[in-house]
Amino acid sequence: MSSTPTRERRCELLAAAAHEEIVPLAERLLADGTIPEPTVLKSPETGMVVLQVREPVEETRFYLGEVLVTECSVEVAGVPGWCMRPGDDRVAALSGALLDALAAADGPATAEIDALCAAVAERHASQEAAEWADVTATTVVFEELT
C-alpha cells in the first residue's frame, strides 16, 4: 500500500480497524489539543443497509440480505469526515469520521492515521493469504489423458 491511501481506501480501512485501534487514537488526538474542536454533522446512527453481491460465474447482481452498520459524519476546520462501520459501535464510527476528516485536512495527525491504515491493510492481507493457503490445500489438479 502506498504511504498515503486514497480517501476511499482510508474510509474502507478505518471501517475495518478494531475498536481498540481507532478509538484510542481519536481520543488522544482530541485530548492533546492540537486539532480544532470537531463539529458533528450527523451523530452516529445505527441502521440496516442492503448488501448487494455479484455472482462470480454469470456476474449477475443480487441482494444477499441486510447488514447492521453505524454511520457518522463530522467536520474539522471546514473539512468533512465520514465513516460507516459494520455493527453498532457508535464510538468507533465517530472516531473513524474524526480520523477521516483529520487525514483529509492533511494535518499533523495524517502520518499516524496513515500508519493505522497501513497496519489494518497489512493485517487483512495476511489474513487473506492465510485463507488462500488453507484453500490451496484442497486444490484438485487433473492430469491430461493421452
Report which residue type is found at 51: L
Q: Which residues sit opposite 82 in a β-bridge?
A: 73
Profile the chain (146 residues) by mean pLDDT over runs of 10 residues: 79 96 94 86 96 92 95 95 96 96 90 95 93 84 82
pTM metric for this prediction: 0.83
Report which residue type is found at 88: D
6 three-state secondary structure: coil
Residues 120, 13: contact at Cβ < 8 Å?
yes
For residues 7-21, b (16+ Cβ closer than 10 Å) or e, as one string? eeebbbbbbbbeeeb
Closest-CA residue to 17 (of 9, 76, 50): 9
